[in-house]
Amino acid sequence: MNSKSLRLLREWFKKNAASLPWRPSNLDAPRDPYAVWISETMLQQTQVSTVRDYFIKWMKRFPDVATLAKASEEEVFKYWQGLGYYSRARNILKTAKIVAGNISQKFPENRKDLEALPGIGAYTAGAILSLAYHQREAILDGNLVRIFSRLYALEFLPTDSKEAAETYWNYAREIADSSKAYMHNEALMELGRTVCKVRNPECGSCPLLASCRAARENRTAEFPPAKKHVQKDWHGTVLVIESMDHKILAVHGGQKFFKNQFTLPHFESPRNATAGLPAQAEKYVDADAVQSVEIAGKFRHGITVHKMECDVLYVKLRTKAPKRERADSRWVERSRATEFFASSFCLKALEQALS
């Protein structure tokens, strides 16, 4: 992108930047890396309009990394509830503890150390380094991908191959190779959100119109190209195991899906569950402790490319939950189960088994 386009982009941003709780009115002011980290993590997969209130409440309760590091996982989840992707909240807490444990209690100021922190990838690291530390660091999110794809008529996505990803990152680095990288990055994100939208981009109000190949060729609807999804069918069984004292078993790790969070035990199985305790369930409960096994129902669900169909088995135990818990499992009060299990996959199974 030439210097004239970048100047037009900055001018457009200064006139059109929305007022957001994580954005200071002085767009040239360096930001608090903690606030950048929280807002950018919340904004991954979630609309700005939704994040706004969550961010305000969060910053009121956890104004800095030291306060957050002392919070319990339950409380962090409470403030995250509704934003989805709970692994993000869990990683936020892990990272807060690491950063608060540093002598300086400061976020690292280089990409390598930032990306070593849980939940911080190339995008968030670039956002912290450019927006908070004003470094010449690139970012690449869905908005920038869409804009680059249209500006240069790129008929591939960064996810297609290593070379494709590198092409997009090179365009992102080009606009970040400036003392105003922070503004170019944020202006492009805003432009993607408000003007170069997924459907019906408003090219007439775009500061980059003169340099946009897709607009010039009247082909904006062709970019970015559609993702090629190969859907895979997956059939499985989900276990809702309840102890005599009304606690539900949650497991961590060793599962097909949700590897990094507590979930209900599940495994691949043939269609149509049969009554009785499946052999795979004996990994979690002693068969002698089982009072009854019921087929509670079934549900459909989609995760990434998987089109799932799951049977739900409700397993009632005649014994109480063990007092000493293992690191890879937890017994959750039945009354708190819908709050504890974050994924809609678990919520669908719980609804079938407990309603």
The residues that are catalytic are 40
Region binding ligand SF4 by CB under 6 A among candidate stretches 43-51, 126-134, 147-155, 292-300: 147-155
Cβ 157 to ligand SF4 shortest distance, Å: 16
Which one of residues 122, 151, 187, 321 is an interface residue with ligand SF4 (CB under 6 A)?
Answer: 151
Q: Which helix (H) or strand (E) holds 301?
A: strand 290-303
CB atoms within 10 A of CB 196: 27
Cis peptide before 278 (omega within 30 of 0): no
The CA distance from 42 to 37, in Å, is 9
Cβ 309 to ligand SF4 shortest distance, Å: 40
At position 108, the amino acid (one-letter code) is P
Binding letters toward ligand SF4, positions 95-134, x by CB under 6 A: ----------------------------------------
The CA distance from 140 to 149, in Å, is 12
Region binding ligand SF4 by CB under 6 A among candidate stretches 44-52, 194-202, 244-252, 345-353: 194-202
Q: Whose CA is closest to 42, among 7, 16, 81, 13? A: 81
176: Cα within 13 Å, side-chain hemisphere = 24
Our finding on whether 214 is near ligand SF4 (CB under 6 A) is yes
- Residue whose CB is less far from ligand SF4, 214 or 346: 214
Q: Whose CA is closest to 342, among 76, 92, 85? A: 85
- Residue whose CB is less far from ligand SF4, 195 or 250: 195
Our finding on whether 201 is near ligand SF4 (CB under 6 A) is yes
Our finding on whether 175 is near ligand SF4 (CB under 6 A) is no
- When computed from its CA atoms, the radius of gyration of the chain, rounded to whole angstroms, is 24
- Residue whose CB is less far from ligand SF4, 8 or 250: 8
Is residue 269 within 8 A of residue 258, CB to CB? The reply is no
Which one of residues 96, 183, 188, 195 is an interface residue with ligand SF4 (CB under 6 A)?
Answer: 195
The CA distance from 287 to 277, in Å, is 8
Cβ 196 to ligand SF4 shortest distance, Å: 3
- Residue whose CB is less far from ligand SF4, 190 or 242: 190
Region binding ligand SF4 by CB under 6 A among candidate stretches 204-212, 306-314, 317-325, 345-353: 204-212
Cβ 211 to ligand SF4 shortest distance, Å: 8
Cβ 293 to ligand SF4 shortest distance, Å: 56
315 phi/psi in degrees, rounded to 5: -110, 115
What six digits make up the tokens of 92?
A: 């936020």
Apex 85 CA angle, 82 and 86, nearest 5: 80
What does the DSSP 8-state code read for residue 130?
A: I
- Residue whose CB is less far from ligand SF4, 116 or 221: 221
Our finding on whether 184 is near ligand SF4 (CB under 6 A) is no
Q: Whose CA is closest to 102, among 135, 125, 69? A: 69
Binding residues vs ligand SF4 (CB under 6 A) = 147, 150-151, 195-196, 201, 203, 206, 208-209, 212, 214-215, 220
